[in-house]
Amino acid sequence: MSEIRTTTSVTETIAYARAFAGRLRRGDVVTLFGDLGSGKTQFVKGVCQAFKTCTTATSPSFVILNRYNGTDERESELLVYHFDLYRVKSLTEIYDLGYEEFLQGDGICLIEWAEMLGELLPKRRYDIRFSLGADENERRIEISGVGK
């Protein structure tokens, strides 16, 4: 079963992501699929806002991984890992990152361009697919799957 939402502004996309973050628990993996400019990083910003990270989320395209310190609903420290696999050319690069430590840890993993993981994708995850709408600000967001 999937949930579909259309947003009409960056602000709305971020607000929807903040609301979605309420479902997330330690150890959850969220995969984000969509073309460049489809809203993936804005969605990550909203999730990070929900977890009160001290740093504003930005696209980690040139470093592959950003780590944000945040807090959970009980105000306990929570790490949010933001992967951007756009520039990854092989699974070897992903292995070299030590991906298992992040995907099997107790933080929240948000993975842009998750299709690059192929067989490494965990079975239990949220898949979020983004597509551009009729005008430049409209985004279609489809969420499927479940967390841990």
Chain segment 65-123, per-residue pLDDT in tens: 888 999 988 899 999 999 888 887 777 777 777 777 777 788 999 999 988 888 888 88
- Chain centre to alpha carbon of residue 99: 15
State residue 104's pLDDT score. 76
Q: Is 79 exposed, middle or buried (0-12, 13-18, 19+ CB in 10 A)?
A: middle
State residue 132's pLDDT score. 92
State residue 42's pLDDT score. 94
Instruction: Give the dihedral sign, CA 86/91/94/100.
Output: positive
State residue 7's pLDDT score. 96
State residue 130's pLDDT score. 96
Whether 61 shows a pLDDT value over 60: the answer reads no
Interval 13-46: pLDDT, tens: 999 999 999 999 999 999 999 998 899 999 999 9
Q: Which domain holds residue 55?
A: 2-145
Based on the structure, what is the number of domains in the chain?
A: 1
**Predicted structure pTM score:** 0.89
State residue 28's pLDDT score. 94
Runs of H (alpha helix) within the chain: 10-21, 40-50, 91-97, 99-103
> Which residues, other chains included, contact 128 with Cβ-Cβ below 8 Å and sequence gap of 6+?
30, 31, 32, 33, 40, 43, 141, 142, 143
CATH code at 83? 3.40.50.300
| 38: its two tokens | 């489809």
